[in-house]
Structures are given as structure tokens and as C-alpha cells.
Amino acid sequence: MSASRSRNKQSKLCDDERLDISKDEFNRFQEAFGQEEFRKLFFDYVDEIQDPENRKIYEAEITQLEKERGVEVRFIHPKPGFVIKTALDGELKCFINIASSEEIERPKNEVATDPSSGSRGLSWSIPMAQTTSRDDFDAKNNHCKVFDVVFHPDALHLAMRNKQFRQCLIDTALDAVEREYKVSLDRANLKFPKLDYKGIPRPTVIRKMSDNPTAEEQEPHPLAHMFPTKPPAPGKPEPRVLPMKTKPTPVPEFTVPKYTIKYSHDVDLSEYTDELDAKLHVTVPRSLVVEIELPLLRSTAECQLDVTSKSVYLFSERQGAKYRLKLDLPFIVDDKAGRARFDTDMRRLSITLPVVRKSVQEQAQMHETLRHFSREDSGVELHSNSESPVEEDP
């Protein structure tokens, strides 16, 4: 059986929401944008919603509306810090923005004793907040994923001064993304591009019930039946606090890339006949197609590929794209007749290898053996008159 790994890109790597537009609606959009007056009104609207002053008015209105419902909201505006570049589930490039906001609590520490060694030191807790993930494009216009993890500015200041604290801050952000979105990040190939933020900063909101709501705020809102809103949990829903790790997360030296092995068959009408040897090779494919996901490689010149009759070996030691794969093939292949192709858009290496089948002499010997077995006596003795030895019941 082939060692294939299933992939579910729709659920994790791409957003499920897609623009569903009919042909008539598309034609109407095209006709509208062809008019100068419509384009002017459209760009005026874009400038209006992007104006910082209008955004402040919008946030104030949202805050007042939520207050009337007995809910206090705080808008968190991420300020750029630094960016982590890695791979998501071994298939897609992703960026993690490490940002800051004054609305997040400061990191806290307390004196604690390490139970394993008995030494005393500081135990840190780092509050943080996350925004929803979003789709974006890299420098080559390829699809990628972007995540935001927001800390207090003091946390980023400490990370700039202390290398160990910076590493723990990075581990905390990676753990938060993996836990929140149920994904796996490539920790062996972390890169830090010369960016302070990937994309456009988007605010997020922290909601909590009012501590001392007025009688008016406790009354049901007139629009509650039209726009029901699940109130936040009672209490003080502060940003998530994660303890600082005493030991850094072990990072492998190389990453094993994701791969699939596909069987390629040809349609042969001789396999659908009643001949004894018609289905001798029905379970043996004509060729094997090995697809290897390499989202952090730009070309095959950055890796080494070695193919033998029974295995495929791939090795890359480029900084930020360290891969190593040793793959045993389920069939013997002709490594001299194989071909490889690297898709620069999908960052996928496809290797097609013809499967070595039995020679003509071996097939002829197998056919003769089958015919010999078909001519052997079944061992059932019959009477000379070829009638059944069983007497009929009168």
C-alpha cells in the first residue's frame, strides 16, 4: 500500500467563504465601473472608510451601541513589531505578525523554584491577544496565510534586550497559533524577513459585561429580536495569559516535507477479456507519481534529489528551507527513465517514475504455468458411459 497523506486545504489553508456571483451580476458590476460617475462615488466611499477620523467615529458608535446592551468593548490596534515567516502544515507559506498594543496587560514575573533542579529564578506570564487569520499574497503574488499575535509593548522591549526572552516570546506566539487554529508550523525553518508587519493592521475587539450596568442598560434592547447577540461570559475576560517556558521547544534540524504517492494506470482493453493472464498486472501501476510539498523553496537548484530503483532521497540545507526526506517506493522503478518537474506557483515537486514490469520471458513462463495448471486432471472419476454415478431416485 502506498504511504500517502491526505490533505484538507479547504478547511485550514483557505477560507471557506467564496464570492458567489452570477453572470448577470458580474455584467452589472462591469457596466457600473465603466461609468465615470460611479467610479468617482466608489473611490470617495473607499477614502471615507479609510479615513482615521471616520474610523474613530465608527468605533465610538460601536462602543456606545454595545454599552446600551450592557457590554463594554475595547478596540485593540496592533502596532508593528517584527514578522516570522514559516510554513503552515507543510504546504502553505505563512507569516506571523508579532505586534503590540497598550490595551494588553504587561508581562508579569514572580520568584519561583525549579522543582527539577531546586534553583530559584523568575517565572513569567505573558498576556496576549490574537486576531482572526486572513489570506494574503507574498512578494511573488502567491497565496499565503497571515496571523497576528499581540503583546504589550514592554514584552517586545524585553525581547529586543534579552535573547532568551525573545525566543520564549516567539515560542509563545507559535504555540498560540497552533492551538487556536489546529495547525502545525514548521519550526525548523523559521525566517525573520525585514518587515515590521505583513499586510494592513486590522483592529480586534475585547468584549466583557459591564461591571455596574445602569437600569437602562439592563433593559432588553429594542433590536435584540432582530440582531441577537450572545453576551460574553461574565467576569473579567482579559487577554489570554500563557506561562513563559523554562525550556525552549526542541526544534528539529531538518523538516520532513509532506508527500503523496499516486499510482498511474493506462487503460488496456486486454485486461477486460476472459483470458487467464488478462489481469496479471492489474494491481501493478504503469508509473508512480511522487508529489513533495516544498513551500519554502524557490527552485530545485536549492535542493539535492537522488532517485534509485527502490527509493527517493531529497535533501536541502538552505537556511530557512531545510528539508530531508528518505522515501521507500512500493514498486521497483526505472530511475533512468524518470522525470521531475517543480511547480514554482504551488511550490510542489512532482517526480514520475515508470514501474519495472516482468520481462517477456518471465511473462511467457508465467503463461505456460497457468496453461499447465488449467490442463491438470481434476481427480474426479467418471463412468465409461459418461453418466453420473449417482443413481436417480425413482
Whether residues 106 and 174 share a domain: the answer is yes
* Residue 233, in any domain of the structure: no
* Residue 198, in any domain of the structure: yes
How many residues are given for the chain?
394
pLDDT digits (tens, 9 = 90+) for 261-279: 999 887 777 767 776 666 6
Whether residues 196 and 119 share a domain: the answer is yes
Whether residues 203 and 98 share a domain: the answer is yes
Burial class, 319, CB count within 10 angstroms (exposed 0-12 / middle 13-18 / buried 19+): exposed
Whether residues 64 and 99 share a domain: the answer is no
* Residue 82, in any domain of the structure: yes
Cα(13)–Cα(136) distance, rounded to whole angstroms?
A: 11
Provide the domain limits for residue 64: 34-69
pLDDT digits (tens, 9 = 90+) for 205-245: 877 776 666 666 566 655 555 555 555 555 444 455 454 45
Other CB atoms within 10 A of residue 176 CB: 19
Whether residues 273 and 176 share a domain: the answer is no
Whether residues 303 and 362 share a domain: the answer is yes
- What pLDDT, on the 0 to 100 scale, is given for residue 65? 81
- What pLDDT, on the 0 to 100 scale, is given for residue 8? 41
pTM over 0.75? The answer is: no
Whether residues 144 and 263 share a domain: the answer is no
Element holding 58 (H helix, E strand): helix 52-68
* Residue 164, in any domain of the structure: yes
Q: Which of 63-67, 126-130, 236-240, 334-338 has the lowest mean pLDDT?
A: 236-240
Whether residues 54 and 85 share a domain: the answer is no
* Residue 266, in any domain of the structure: yes
Q: How many domains does the chain have?
A: 3
Over residues 193-200, the mean pLDDT reads: 90
Is the Cα torsion angle 125, 126, 129, 134 positive or negative in sign? Answer: negative
* Residue 116, in any domain of the structure: yes
Comparing C-alpha atoms, which of 318, 189, 300 is closest to residue 255? 189
Residue with cell 453576551: 231
Whether residues 91 and 206 share a domain: the answer is yes
Over residues 318-346, the mean pLDDT reads: 88
- The grid coordinates listed for 301 are 537548484
- The grid coordinates listed for 35 are 461609468
Q: Are strands 287-293 and 348-354 parallel, antiparallel or unpaired?
A: antiparallel
* Residue 301, in any domain of the structure: yes
* Residue 29, in any domain of the structure: no
Whether residues 295 and 323 share a domain: the answer is yes
The domain boundary, picked from 177, 211, 245, lies at: 211
Whether residues 97 and 52 share a domain: the answer is no
The domain boundary, picked from 23, 46, 69, lies at: 69
Task: Extract long-range pairs of 15-21: CB within 8 Å, 24+ residues apart.
Answer: 15/135
Whether residues 88 and 191 share a domain: the answer is yes
Over residues 185-214, the mean pLDDT reads: 83
